[in-house]
Each structure stands twice: as structure tokens, then as C-alpha cells.
Chains A and B, each alone.
Chain A
């Protein structure tokens, strides 16, 4: 059986939830499929307060924001949520396939489709990185903040971007020591306020440093770090062993774009956005007219921008389906999100994103 639907959203993170809400607000029936055990994407493990402005719920902890959006969605009768459901493919007849709870095979044919699949963590190849105790930052957050399981006693964080800094802080809050944060770049990549709060808890942030080796008999027991030069070459004589049982890798994200590729959306490599991303217009519509994109799948950024992009896409998708709104209403509402997004990207951090967007945003 093929489930015919109006709007299908793949991915229940901030972008997908906001887009679904926009659809529902405009009277569209929305089906949302998500592979997680709970709707919310990464929000369900973000225990820190979000930055940004009021429109992106600044000051609210991610975990609370996820609950808030979930409550709003579940108030709608025409909202269908399918959790533990992994989208597995897109076919040329417009059918999206999915597997629910590892047993039920499902087919959807939506009139309009949002790909809000988020991102995947980049791995780091280090000798013995298959030892138990080497985790991606997302897994560490899942263990600690979702399941209440301590992933280790003493950690080494690889990467001083926002994720590395935030997860290091969350490790400290959970009672895990953090031996150091190492960062191969000469400067801290994440927000300096995040860096300051772990530094004043005694965690050294070692820029121009990387991990060289991991040792341990049946799990991680120690890690070798080293200072690197400007070309990332290890400087002999600066090697140091750290006694740690947890290595947390936070070296960046890549957009999850498999479905967009399958659907034949035009893709471009944009380093500022984290990899291959779809060409889109200001409605977040891809080169395949009924397929829209929002959030990290469109380019690695922040939850705050994912929320705004989700709003833009959801609104445009509702109009695509002929929801009753005048052109001026549509333009006015879409402009609210765009203005906020431009404001958000108006600083030095957003400048890089804007450079990247020039390469894929078509008017």
C-alpha cells in the first residue's frame, strides 16, 4: 500500500518540526517520519541554553525547546508522527520508502516533501580508534543526557568547535573529568563563552594539538597527543600521553543528503556549508520542484537557523499545496523568518555561511 499524503517531512529535528508546524498552521495534513526513539532530533539531548534571539527561542534549553515544539505538533489532529522510522529510499515515481521499527516496510507518495535529515558526524581515523571508549560527541550526549549513562571517568575531547566545547561542559556536569580539549586549528572554533566556561573549570584547551595514538588492552586506557605546526605536521618531542578512558570525537559534521541525491536534486560541494548540499531558492525549494530542504541537510549551521529555515520551507510548502493565503500574506510571513535569519547571520560567524550560500542559493 502506498500512503498518499499532502506533506511528508523526513526528520523530526528543529527544521522538520518547524516546517511541519507551518504546514499544520495552514491547514495542511502533515506526516513526519523520524528514525529517533523520540521526536526532536538533536534537541532531545541539548541540555544547554540556546543562543540567538527571541524568535529562535534564545535562552531556552534545547531539551525544553524540543518538548515545546512537540506539544504544539501533537495538538493537531491532522499530524501523523511515525517514530523509529528510517527513510530508506526515494524512487523516480516520487515514492519515499521507510522501515518502521525494523519490521514494517512503508511507502509514501507525498505531494510535497521536506528533507530535514540533519547531519552525520565526521569520523577521525586514529590507531586503535575501534577500541571501546572512542565515541562521537553525539553518542556521548545520547548516553549521558538521554539514557543517564556515564560514558567514562576521564575524557579527552577532540575538537574545540561548539560541539566539542559544549559536550566537554556537559561531561563535567555529569561528573566525568575532562583531561583536555585538543584542537588542530591554531584557534578555538566555537564560541569563546563556551570555551571560557570549561577553562574556568580547569580544562585546558590545547590549540594546534591533535591526537596521534590510542592504547589500551580491551578498552581505551590512554591517548597520545602532540603539538602540530601550521600545516598540521606533528612536532617531534611534543608528544604527551594522557590517562583517559574516553575519547570523544567532535571534528565536524557533514550534511545527510542521500535522499536528495536519489531524488536527483542538483547538488554542489560547498566547504563553508560542510560538504555536498542541494541548490535551492529562497523558499528552500530544491531543483526538484516538490522537494524542499531545511536545517543541517541544507548546510551545517545552528539549531537556531534550522528553526528559521524550517519555518521558511514549511510556509513555502503550504503555499505550494495551495493553502489559502494571499501572496502578500505569504511574502510578509516568509520575510519575518528571512529577516531574522539575515540578522542571525549578520556577524563574523554568519559571514562564512553567507559566502557558502552564494554558491547554492538561486533567485
Chain B
């Protein structure tokens, strides 16, 4: 359970993912923030208004997947480092994952890295497609991973 381990459950994850139809249409944000905490920069981050403003700063964010186009601007602006973007239409058998990364050194473009799940275990390999540097120093790694692992991979390990 999340409150005991720090790992979001399958059930909690399913609640924050868009429906199958939307997932087939292109990239979308996965906001892994399910606890009421006083934090709201994500609502102002989205230029498309896909994360509606809160009445109270402690609300849990929601995503309007009709408005979200998976641009990933929210990733570096989330203080909780809790937002990922997944494109399950990247190729026939590969997904593109954009993840926040606050470690040095940064991987290089084209580098093969170990892909870690939510418990930090390596589950597959991925290729770094792009490293997007952000002025806030929360950089964004674009990662090509096997499609089956699109909702499992959440971190990387450099060789």
C-alpha cells in the first residue's frame, strides 16, 4: 500500500489513467499525486488548462484528457516530481516515456539505460531519445521503452 511503501497501487494507478480509447490517441500526462497535500503549481503549469484549478490548495489534481496533449510542460513544474508523460502510440511495440530526473550525470542521447519500476527494480532496458534541460534543474528524459512496460517504468539507472 502506498501509505506504507511509497508505491502507488494498480487500483490507484487505474484511477488516474485515461480510458483505453484515449490512450490509443497519443501522449497523455500521468499525475501520480493521489494524496491531499497543500500544493497547486500543476494547475497553473498547463497552458491548455488540462489540470483544472482547485478550490482548495489541498485538492488532488485531475487531468482533462481531452485537453491534455502530452506536451510535458507540467513535468518540470511539479514540486513533487510526480508527473510523467506516456505515449503508447510511439511505434507499434514501443512507448515513449517522459520522466523528471534530478540527478547528475545526465544520460546522453541514444544511450541505453536500465529502466526501473516504482520500487527501483530494473525491469527492462530503454533508449534515451532526448534530454530536455529545464532551467529549474528538474530535467526531462525522453525514453523509448517496450510498450508493455509503459505504465511500469518510472526511473532510470545509468550504466
Q: Which residues in A have some Cβ–Cβ distance to B below 8 Å? A: 48-54, 58-59, 61, 172-173, 186-188, 191-203, 205, 207, 302, 304, 343-350
Contact = CB atoms under 8 A, between A and B. Distances in A.
B2 interface: yes
A345 B36 CA distance: 11
Contacts of A59: 41, 77, 79, 136
B80 A200 contact: no
B80 A173 contact: no
Nearest to A58: B41
A268 to B, nearest CB: 25
B38 A193 contact: no
Nearest to B3: A187
A202 B35 contact: no
8 contacts: A58-B39, A59-B77, A61-B137, A191-B35, A191-B80, A192-B34, A193-B81, A201-B116
Contacts of A198: 6
A51 B36 CA distance: 12
A173 B81 CA distance: 14
B154 interface: yes
Please indicate which of the listed interface residues B4, B40, B103, B117 has the most CB atoms of chain A within 10 Å of its own CB. B4
B80 A193 contact: yes
A256 B94 CA distance: 55
Nearest to A347: B58
B38 A53 contact: yes
B102 interface: yes
A173 to B, nearest CB: 6
A186 B4 contact: yes
Contacts of B138: 49
The number of chain B residues touching the other chain, given as a range, is 35 or more
A188 B4 contact: yes
B103 A205 contact: no
A48 B103 CA distance: 12
A58 B119 CA distance: 28
Contact of A347 (B38, B81, B120, B155): B38
Contacts of A201: 116, 120, 155
Nearest to A304: B38
Nearest to B43: A53
A200 B57 contact: no
Nearest to B1: A187
A346 B6 contact: no
Interface string B1-41: 01111111000000000000000000000001111111111
A49 B38 CA distance: 13
B5 A205 contact: yes
Please indicate which of the listed interface residues A53, A191, A196, A347 has the most CB atoms of chain B within 10 Å of its own CB. A196
Nearest to A343: B57
Q: Is the interface of A mostly helix, strand, loop or mixed?
A: mixed
B57 A199 contact: no
Contacts of B121: 202
Given A58-B39, A188-B6, A347-B36, A49 B118 contact: no
Given A187-B3, A193-B82, A197-B81, A202 B57 contact: no
Contacts of A54: 41, 44
Contact of A192 (B3, B41, B77, B154): B3
B80 to A, nearest CB: 3
B81 A192 contact: no
B103 A200 contact: no
A324 B34 CA distance: 46
Given A193-B81, A205-B5, A347-B36, 8 more contacts: A48-B79, A53-B57, A197-B81, A203-B120, A347-B37, A347-B58, A348-B58, A350-B58
A53 B7 contact: no
Please indicate which of the listed interface residues B37, B38, B136 has the most CB atoms of chain A within 10 Å of its own CB. B38
Contact of B56 (A51, A58, A346): A346
Contacts of A344: 38, 57-58
B7 A191 contact: no
Given A58-B40, A193-B32, A200 B154 contact: yes
A309 to B, nearest CB: 14
Given A59-B79, A343-B56, A346-B57, A196 B7 contact: yes
A245 to B, nearest CB: 21
Nearest to A345: B38
B158 to A, nearest CB: 12
B116 A192 contact: no
Contacts of A194: 80
Interface in B60-83: 77, 79-82
Contact of B37 (A48, A187, A191): A191
A59 to B, nearest CB: 4
